[in-house]
Chains A and B, each alone.
Chain A
Amino acid sequence: MKHLTALILASSTALFATAAAADQTNIRVAMQLEPPNLDPTAGAAQAVDSVVYSNIFEGLTRFMSDGSVVPGLAESWEISDDGLVYTFHLRSGVTFHDGSTMDAEDVKFSLDRARAEDSTNAQKALFAGITDVTVVDPLTVQITLGEPNGAMLFNLAWGDAVIVAPESIADAATHPIGTGAFMFDNWVQGDHIDIVRNPNYWGTPAALESATFRFISDPTAAFAAMMAEDVDVFVGFPAPENLPQFEADPRFQVLVGNTEGETILAMNNAQAPFDNVLVREAVAHAIDRQAVIDGAMYGIGTPIGTHFAPHNPDYVDLTALSAYDPDRSRELLAEAGFPDGFTTTLKLPPPSYARRGGEIIASQLRAVGINAEIENQEWAQWLENTFRGYDFGMTIVSHTEPMDIGIYANPEYYFQYDNPDFQALMTTLTSTTDPEERSNLLAQAQTMIAEDYVVGFLFELAVPTVARAGIEGLWLNQPTAAIDLTGVSWP
C-alpha cells in the first residue's frame, strides 16, 4: 500500500512536471477586441492584424518593432534609376500552410487583387501608384509605378499588403492560409483563437509550439484575468491605473511602448469659428497636454506639436508652438472677435483617450471661455455623422496609421483642411526618393500644419503590455498593429 501511494505520488509529480514544462511552449495572449475575421486584406479592424501579422501572413517587406522596414518574402530588390520599376527577388522554398508553393504568381495575384476596381481593401490607396505587376520568373516579380513613390517599400510592409494564395483566399476570413511561422488552428468565436507552429517555415522556426489569443474587453476583467494568471500576456492593457500594481509584482513585467497613434483634437476647418486660424490657435494654447496625459492616460503618452510620431527620426519637436498659455488663448479669442468665447460641440468616440481626455479638455476650454458640449458617440455613429457627415465642431481621435501626415492634403478629409501649398508639398514628397530630401520635406510639412494649427495636436498614444516575468521577444512598440510571436520565448 505504501508503495502504491508512493507510485501514485511519483507519477502525479511527473504528470505535473510535464504539464509545467508543456506550458513553456504555449503562450496565452489577451487583447481587448476580437477580430471580426482573419483576412487582413479586407477590412480596417486592427485586431485582425494583431493576430495574423507576421504570425500567419507575410508581405514582401515587413516592419520590425522599432518601425524599420526589412525584407520579408522578398529577399532583395532593385529599384530602377527613374524610381519607377521595382524588381523583387523572392525567397525560394517558401510554401503556404496548405503545402502549395509561394511564387511570383501569388505576389501578382495579391497585389492585383488589392488594387482592383472592386477591391474591398481598406488601404487601397497604398497601391494607387502601381500601374503594373509582372511575373518575370517564378522567383522574380516586377512592380511598375506611374510615378516615383518613396514610400513603396514601406507601403508593402502593411498588413493590408500581405501575400495570399488565389486557392485559399476565399476562406481567409475564417480559415487563413499564409506563409508565416504559425498556422491557424482553431477559432471559437467570442472566446479564443489558436495558432500552432509551422513545421515547414522558411525562416527561423518559432520557439513556441502554440499560442492562444483571448479577447477581454472589460478593463476590470482584464485585470482579473492577468492577476489570476489566466493569460500570460496582455497587449494593449486597458486599465492603465493598475500598471503600477503589476510593476510592483515580481510575477509580472510591464512594457510601455510607442504607437503610430497621433491623438488629435480635430476642429472643423470648414465651419465657423474654426475656419479662423486665430480661433484654432486659441484652442491650441488652451490645452494643457501633460494634464490630459496624466488625467486620461495615467501618465503614459508623449505630447506632440504636429502630426508626426516623436520616435521617428524625421520628427520635429513643435510643441512650443502650442504651449499651454490660457492668457494668450483669451487674447487670441478676443482678437478673433470672440471676447466672451463661444459654444461648440465635442463629439467623442468610445476609446478612453477620447472619453476621459474629452472631459479634461472641455474643462480646460471652459477656462478660456469656450463651451464645448460633449456628445458621446459609438464608432459606427461617429463614422457616419462626424467623420463622413462633417457634423461636428470638435472631436478627438487617434490616427493610428503609420506615416499618415498625407491626410492633411485631402481637403475632403473630415477636418477639411484645404491648403494648396501643403497639397503640393505632399505631391513632391511622394515622388521624392532621396532620403535626405524626403527628410527635409517632411520637416516642412510638419511645420506647416503646426503653424496653421489645423487641429489641436495632443499626444502620441502609448501601448502598455503586461506580461508574465521572463517572457522574451515581445514587441515593445506598435509600428503597425501586430502581436508578433515569431521571436517570443519563455525563459
Chain B
Amino acid sequence: MIRYTIGRLTSLCLSLLVASMVIFAVVEVVPGDPAAYMLGVNARPDTVAALRTELGLDVSKPERYLAWTTGMLSGDFGQSYTYRTPVSQMILDRVWVSVPLALFALTLTILIAFPAGIYAASRRGRAGDMTVMGATQFGVAVPNFWFAMILVLIFAIKLRWFSAGGFPGWENGLFTGLKALLLPAIALALPQAAILARVMRSSLLDMLNEDFIRTARAKGLNRRQALWRHAVRNALIPVLTIIGLQFSFLLAGGIVIEQVFFLPGLGRLIFQAISSRDLIVVESVVMLLVFLVIVVNFAVDLAYALVDPRLRTRS
C-alpha cells in the first residue's frame, strides 16, 4: 500500500510540473496585452509602456515563469494586473463559493443516482427500469444551463421562493448560503446524476452476471441480498472513476452556471480574467484547478485500493 501511494504521489508531482509549463506557455502565447486592455483606445503609447513597467510585464518570460512557480510553492500567487490585489486572496474568496457548490452538487448527484441506478438494475427490463432509463436519457441530453433557466423561471420569477442569483456570503449564515446555492447545485447535479445512474445500473448488471453472484445465490441468498451484499460494492469501481471525473467537471465546469446565477466563483473569475488578459490570474486559477483535479484523482486511486484489495499488492 505504501509503495502504491508513493508511486501515485510521484506521478502527481510530475503532472503538476508539466501542467504549470503547459499553462504558462499557452496563456502567454494568446494575443493581447493586459496594459493595453486596461487603458483602452485613447491611451498614448508611452502611458501603456509606463503601465507595463508598473505591472512588471517588461520582464522576460522565463523570469516571470520562475517567479510565478517559486512564488506558488510558498503560497504567493502574485498580484492581479487588473484588480491590483493578491491573486491568492482573490482565489480564496472564490473557492468558498465554487468548492461548496461542487460538493453540494456532487452530494445531490450521488443522492439521486445511487438509488435510481440500484432501483433500475434490480427491476431490469420492467416498467421501473424503463422509467429511470427514459428519465436519465433526457437528463443526459439536456444541458445544465437549460435546467438552470427553467429553475429560475419557476422558482425565482414565478414563485419568488429564491433569488434569481447572486451569493450573499457565508457570513450571513449557513442556511442563507446553502439556499443561494440550491438552484445552481440542482441545475449542475441533474445531468450528472443522469450519467451516474446509468453507469451505476450497467455496472451492477455486469456484476449480477458474474460467477460469484451465482455462487452467492447458490448458497441461499436471495436476489436482493446478493445484490446488496456482493454486487454493489464491486460495482463501485467504475462508479468511483466517474464520480472523480464528475467532481472535476463540477469544479471547473461551473463557468456557465456561475454566469447564469451570477455567482462569484472561480469560473466567473477565470472568465473575467481571460477577457481582460489578467494572465497571472488565469494561470493561477487554471493551475489550482489542475491541482484539485489531480488531487481528486489521487484520492480516487487510493479509494480503488480500499475497494479492491488486489490493487494494494499488485504494484
Contact assessment for A44 and B156 in the assembled complex, using a CB-CB cutoff below 8 Å: no
Contact assessment for A230 and B163 in the assembled complex, using a CB-CB cutoff below 8 Å: yes
Q: How many residues in A have their beta carbons less than 8 Å from beta carbons of B?
A: 49
Contact assessment for B164 and A221 in the assembled complex, using a CB-CB cutoff below 8 Å: yes
Contact assessment for B36 and A383 in the assembled complex, using a CB-CB cutoff below 8 Å: yes
Residue A325 interfacial (CB < 8 Å): no
Which B residues between 5 and 55 are near A, CB-CB below 8 angstroms?
30-34, 36-44, 46-47, 50-51, 53-54
Contact assessment for A214 and B41 in the assembled complex, using a CB-CB cutoff below 8 Å: no
Contact assessment for A122 and B39 in the assembled complex, using a CB-CB cutoff below 8 Å: yes
What is the bound-complex CA distance between A121 and B51, given in angstroms?
9
What is the bound-complex CA distance between A230 and B153, given in angstroms?
13
Which A residues between 452 and 483 are near B, CB-CB below 8 angstroms?
none
What is the bound-complex CA distance between A303 and B94, given in angstroms?
43
Partner of B31, one of A192, A214, A350, A385: A385
Residues on B with C-beta less than 8 A from A119 are: 47, 50
Contact assessment for B276 and A36 in the assembled complex, using a CB-CB cutoff below 8 Å: yes
Nearest residue, chain A, Cβ from B90: A189
Contact assessment for A380 and B43 in the assembled complex, using a CB-CB cutoff below 8 Å: no
What is the bound-complex CA distance between A118 and B40, given in angstroms?
17
Nearest residue, chain B, Cβ from A397: B41
Residues on B with C-beta less than 8 A from A384 are: 31-33, 36
Partner of B167, one of A37, A117, A122, A191: A191
Known: A120-B50, A230-B166. A44 touches B40 (CB 8 A): yes
Contact assessment for A190 and B265 in the assembled complex, using a CB-CB cutoff below 8 Å: yes
Residue A12 interfacial (CB < 8 Å): no
Contact assessment for B269 and A43 in the assembled complex, using a CB-CB cutoff below 8 Å: no
Q: Which of B64-72, B81-89, B205-213, B219-227 makes up part of the contact surface?
A: B81-89
Nearest residue, chain A, Cβ from B167: A191
Nearest residue, chain A, Cβ from B261: A221
Residues on B with C-beta less than 8 A from A92 are: none
Residues on A with C-beta less than 8 A from B276 are: 36, 379-380
Q: How many residues in B have their beta carbons less than 8 Å from beta carbons of A?
A: 54
Contact assessment for A225 and B272 in the assembled complex, using a CB-CB cutoff below 8 Å: no
Contact assessment for A230 and B165 in the assembled complex, using a CB-CB cutoff below 8 Å: yes
Contact assessment for A124 and B44 in the assembled complex, using a CB-CB cutoff below 8 Å: yes
What is the bound-complex CA distance between A124 and B43, given in angstroms?
7
Contact assessment for B33 and A122 in the assembled complex, using a CB-CB cutoff below 8 Å: no
Contact assessment for A173 and B83 in the assembled complex, using a CB-CB cutoff below 8 Å: yes
Can you list, as one digit per residue, whether each of B220-247 has a CB less than 8 Å from chain A (1) or not (0)? 0000000000000000000000000000
Residue A381 interfacial (CB < 8 Å): yes
Nearest residue, chain B, Cβ from A218: B259
Partner of B272, one of A34, A216, A399: A34
Residue A387 interfacial (CB < 8 Å): yes
How many Cβ-Cβ contacts under 8 Å join chain A to chain B? 159
What is the bound-complex CA distance between A118 and B262, given in angstroms?
37
Contact assessment for A123 and B31 in the assembled complex, using a CB-CB cutoff below 8 Å: no
Residues on A with C-beta less than 8 A from B85 are: 173-174, 189
Residue A388 interfacial (CB < 8 Å): yes
Residue A182 interfacial (CB < 8 Å): no
Residue A227 interfacial (CB < 8 Å): yes
Which B residues between 75 and 100 are near A, CB-CB below 8 angstroms?
82-85, 90, 93-94
Contact assessment for A388 and B36 in the assembled complex, using a CB-CB cutoff below 8 Å: yes
Known: A215-B262, A228-B160, A387-B41. A220 touches B149 (CB 8 A): yes
Partner of B38, one of A122, A188, A216: A122
Residues on B with C-beta less than 8 A from A383 are: 32-33, 36-37, 41
What is the bound-complex CA distance between A228 and B40, given in angstroms?
35
Residue A327 interfacial (CB < 8 Å): no
Contact assessment for A44 and B43 in the assembled complex, using a CB-CB cutoff below 8 Å: yes
Contact assessment for B38 and A45 in the assembled complex, using a CB-CB cutoff below 8 Å: yes
Residues on A with C-beta less than 8 A from B274 are: 378
Residue B157 interfacial (CB < 8 Å): yes
Nearest residue, chain B, Cβ from A378: B275
Say how far A441's CB is from chain B's closest CB, in angstroms.
Answer: 21
What is the bound-complex CA distance between A51 and B184, given in angstroms?
28
What is the bound-complex CA distance between A214 and B164, given in angstroms?
13
Among A125, A228, A385, A397, find the residue whose CB has the most chain B CB atoms closer than 10 A: A228
Residue A401 interfacial (CB < 8 Å): yes
Residue A9 interfacial (CB < 8 Å): no
Partner of B268, one of A121, A190, A192, A230: A190
Residue A131 interfacial (CB < 8 Å): no
Residues on A with C-beta less than 8 A from B157 are: 224, 227-228
Contact assessment for B42 and A123 in the assembled complex, using a CB-CB cutoff below 8 Å: yes
Partner of B83, one of A125, A189, A229, A399: A189
Nearest residue, chain B, Cβ from A116: B50
Residue B260 interfacial (CB < 8 Å): yes
Say how far B45's CB is from chain A's closest CB, in angstroms.
Answer: 9
Partner of A217, one of B50, B149, B262: B262
Contact assessment for B269 and A122 in the assembled complex, using a CB-CB cutoff below 8 Å: no
Nearest residue, chain A, Cβ from B44: A124
Contact assessment for B149 and A188 in the assembled complex, using a CB-CB cutoff below 8 Å: no
Residue B294 interfacial (CB < 8 Å): no
Can you list, as one digit per residue, whether each of A28-39 has a CB less than 8 Å from chain B (1) or not (0)? 000000101100
Nearest residue, chain B, Cβ from A33: B272
Which A residues between 358 and 388 are near B, CB-CB below 8 angstroms?
378-381, 383-385, 387-388
Nearest residue, chain B, Cβ from A215: B262
What is the bound-complex CA distance between A417 and B96, given in angstroms?
51
Say how far A159's CB is from chain B's closest CB, in angstroms.
Answer: 12
Residues on A with C-beta less than 8 A from B33 are: 380, 383-384
Contact assessment for B51 and A120 in the assembled complex, using a CB-CB cutoff below 8 Å: yes
Residues on A with C-beta less than 8 A from B262 are: 191, 214-218, 221, 225
Which B residues between 133 and 185 are near A, CB-CB below 8 angstroms?
149, 152-153, 156-157, 160, 163-167, 169
What is the bound-complex CA distance between A221 and B258, given in angstroms?
10
Residue B277 interfacial (CB < 8 Å): yes
Say how far A173's CB is from chain B's closest CB, in angstroms.
Answer: 4
Among B42, B153, B261, find the residue whose CB has the most chain A CB atoms closer than 10 A: B42
Residue B264 interfacial (CB < 8 Å): yes
Can you list, as one digit per residue, whether each of A207-222 has a CB less than 8 Å from chain B (1) or not (0)? 0000000111110110
Among B51, B94, B156, B165, find the residue whose CB has the most chain A CB atoms closer than 10 A: B165
Say how far B111's CB is from chain A's closest CB, in angstroms.
Answer: 27
Residues on B with C-beta less than 8 A from A350 are: 275
What is the bound-complex CA distance between A217 and B260, given in angstroms?
9
Known: A119-B50, A218-B259, A230-B166. A44 touches B41 (CB 8 A): yes
Partner of A221, one of B36, B54, B165, B277: B165
A-B complex: 7 closest residue pairs judged by Cβ atoms: A44-B40, A380-B32, A190-B264, A36-B82, A224-B164, A191-B264, A228-B164
* Beyond known contacts A122-B47, A225-B164: 6 more, CB 8 A cutoff: A43-B39, A45-B40, A124-B43, A224-B149, A228-B164, A383-B33
User: Which of A's residues lie within 8 Å of B, judged by CB?
Assistant: 34, 36-37, 43-45, 117-125, 173-174, 188-192, 214-218, 220-221, 224-225, 227-230, 350, 378-381, 383-385, 387-388, 397, 399, 401, 404
User: Could you list 19 A-B pairs, sorted by A, with CB under 8 Å?
Assistant: A44-B43, A121-B47, A124-B44, A125-B42, A174-B84, A189-B83, A190-B263, A214-B166, A221-B261, A224-B149, A224-B152, A224-B153, A224-B156, A228-B157, A350-B275, A380-B275, A384-B31, A384-B32, A401-B42
